[in-house]
Amino acid sequence: MSIEDEAPQGLFIGGAWTDAAATFKVTDPATGEVVAEVADATGPDAVRALDAAAGAQATWAATAPRTRAEILRRAFELMTERAESLARLATVEMGRPLAESRAEVAYAADFLRWFAEEAVRIGGDHRVAPTGDYRIVTARQPVGPCYLITPWNFPLAMVTRKVAPALAAGCTMVLKPAEATPLSALRLAELLADAGVPDGVFNVIPTLSPAEVTGALLADGRLRKLSFTGSTEVGRRLLAQSAPGVLRTSMELGGNAPFLVLDDADVAAAVEGAMVAKMRNAGQSCVAANRFLVHAAVADEFTEALRERLAALRTGPGLDPGSQVGPLIDAKARDKVGELVADAERRGAKLRLGGRPVPGPGSFYPPTLLTGVPEDAPITQQEIFGPVAAIAAYDDEQSMVAAANATSAGLVAFVYTRDLDRALRVGDALEAGMVGINRGLVSNAAAPFGGIKQSGLGREGGLEGIDEYLEVKYLAIQA
């Protein structure tokens, strides 16, 4: 039996697997073949899941932090033990090479370990009122039942980045995974139950009707929190929908990362960083380098070295051990990337590598390099979400920073320079929630991940991540 056949395919509600009235198909982007049929939740199914979460809330909140921590630690250990089958499942449903899926599983497991360690450190403080006659004591309490919506590009890590802090804080939850990748989330439900998460605390409802399911939950007064990772467009809509209930919200939205290579950069290191920042997940990452802004003094050297590295990559199915670049998530995504590249060419950019979709089956697009990309081209304004490096050359640091900031997104930026003063000056000036300095990868369970401007609200991971699931309560105590 294949891994995807073994994966659970029902709704997980109140600790039990249940069917839905209909199912929907999950396909392998490398072949276009159907790999599973998953239960398709409706609005009433979502309300049943919230019934379970609301019913479990008080007991889970009252469970000792040490117990919650030990369950999370056990979940980390189980994920580590099951890493290979989880990695294969992620590759089957989202396409990327197995080695990258293994890295995602390790990253996903890290959130379970990190928040196991944080569960026992939820604190408060004590002050004497300025008038001296009473005490101000603060405590932090779980926000209550949460609704978590996740995207397809990291089908496990985007889930544990929310689930682990919510569990650590003492919240119960309903998770709606992306329709392209529900299998990893369903496997996680099985794993969390095995780790000892009580019935009703964690519920999963895959659906092909996200708007209907979400409408039913956001209108329900028992829900206290929405945490969303996905596109800015959907996030904006969900913020408006959350307003009537004055829900707590966390929003991890789209990026448009600039990657600056200054004239004093170590070009070899910059190319190394560019390969990670651009090519992880075939560019299908919110923190993917979207625009390469390179100083004219090093532009030719950087471009040629990057072109060589990209040209050497092998595109192919993720389960094939020789593949270094997998397919894009679906044909629509591949066509969108193709259109952005064609449009950039029409605007005068020069195609230096790739640029033509790989004939089917599967939604493959090859590593591609463009130079002379105009600043107003849609490829520099939108997330490419594909393996396309778009390079533009600049004559000075100031214009590079201005171009980097000329976007409504503010998730991450990267800068390469050998001069620490410059690194700090440019790092301060870049409008982004995260800045990679001489580093192409910033994601880490121990660091606060999140954006400014239209890239979102709140932070996931780090010391900050658990705060998204806690409320501050102030007790005024008469001395």
* Among positions 179, 190, 304, 471, the unique one binding ligand NAD when judged by CB under 6 A: 179
Token pair for 186: 């369903």
Token pair for 380: 């520099």
* Among positions 69, 92, 163, 286, the unique one binding ligand NAD when judged by CB under 6 A: 286
In angstroms, what is the minimal distance from the CB of 413 to ligand NAD?
14
3-state SS record for 112-143? HHHHHHHHCCCCCEEEECCCCCEEEEEEEEEC
Q: Of 406, 428, 345, 407, which Cα lies nearest the Cα of 415?
A: 428
C-alpha R_g of the chain: 23
**Which residue, 290 or 417, is less far from ligand NAD as judged by CB?**
290
The residue behind tokens 């996200």 is: 210
Identified catalytic residue from 252, 397, 431, 460:
252
Token pair for 117: 């360690």
Residue 29, interface with ligand NAD (CB under 6 A)?
no
Residue 407, interface with ligand NAD (CB under 6 A)?
no
Number of residues that bind ligand NAD (CB under 6 A): 26
The residue behind tokens 């049929």 is: 37
Residue nearest to ligand NAD (CB): 230
User: What is the three-class DSSP state of 335?
Assistant: helix
Token pair for 278: 């651009």
252 is catalytic: yes
Pairing of strands 470-478, 134-142: antiparallel
Binders of ligand NAD among 445-474, rule CB under 6 A? 451, 456
> Which span sits near ligand NAD by CB under 6 A: 12-20, 52-60, 206-214, 273-281?
206-214
Residue 283, interface with ligand NAD (CB under 6 A)?
no
**Which residue, 267 or 287, is less far from ligand NAD as judged by CB?**
287
Site string for ligand NAD, 297-336 (x = CB under 6 A): ----------------------------------------
Q: Are 189 and 204 in contact (CB under 8 A)?
A: yes
From the number of C-beta atoms within 10 Å of its C-beta (0-12, 13-18, 19+), residue 284 rates as buried
- What is the dihedral sign for C-alpha 63, 81, 191, 280? positive
**Which residue, 265 or 413, is less far from ligand NAD as judged by CB?**
413
* Among positions 144, 254, 258, 354, the unique one binding ligand NAD when judged by CB under 6 A: 254
| First-residue to last-residue Cα distance in the chain | 67
Site string for ligand NAD, 131-170 (x = CB under 6 A): ------------------xxxxx----x------------
**Which residue, 47 or 61, is less far from ligand NAD as judged by CB?**
47
Residue 209, interface with ligand NAD (CB under 6 A)?
no
**Which residue, 294 or 340, is less far from ligand NAD as judged by CB?**
340
Strand arrangement, sheet containing 225-229: 16-18, 11-13, 202-204, 173-176, 146-149, 225-229, 248-252, 456-457
Residue 379, interface with ligand NAD (CB under 6 A)?
no
- What gap in Å lies between CA 94 and CA 85, rounded to an integer? 14
**Which residue, 114 or 152, is less far from ligand NAD as judged by CB?**
152
In angstroms, what is the minimal distance from the CB of 243 to ligand NAD?
15
Q: Are 257 and 288 in contact (CB under 8 A)?
A: yes
In angstroms, what is the minimal distance from the CB of 287 to ligand NAD?
7
* Among positions 93, 110, 118, 252, the unique one binding ligand NAD when judged by CB under 6 A: 252
Counting Cα atoms < 13 Å in the Cβ hemisphere of 213 gives 24
From the number of C-beta atoms within 10 Å of its C-beta (0-12, 13-18, 19+), residue 83 rates as middle
In angstroms, what is the minimal distance from the CB of 232 to ligand NAD?
6
**Which residue, 137 or 452, is less far from ligand NAD as judged by CB?**
452
Q: Are 387 and 307 in contact (CB under 8 A)?
A: no
Residue 267, interface with ligand NAD (CB under 6 A)?
no
**Which residue, 142 or 254, is less far from ligand NAD as judged by CB?**
254
**Which residue, 214 or 380, is less far from ligand NAD as judged by CB?**
214
Residues in the chain: 479
Residue 337, interface with ligand NAD (CB under 6 A)?
no
Residue 211, interface with ligand NAD (CB under 6 A)?
yes
- What is the dihedral sign for C-alpha 30, 35, 37, 40? negative
Site string for ligand NAD, 217-246 (x = CB under 6 A): ------------xxx--x--x---------
- What gap in Å lies between CA 157 and CA 166, rounded to an integer? 14
- DSSP designation for 30: T
Residues carrying an active site annotation: 252
- Residues near ligand NAD (CB under 6 A) are 149-153, 158, 176, 178-179, 210-211, 214, 229-231, 234, 237, 252-255, 286, 383, 411, 451, 456
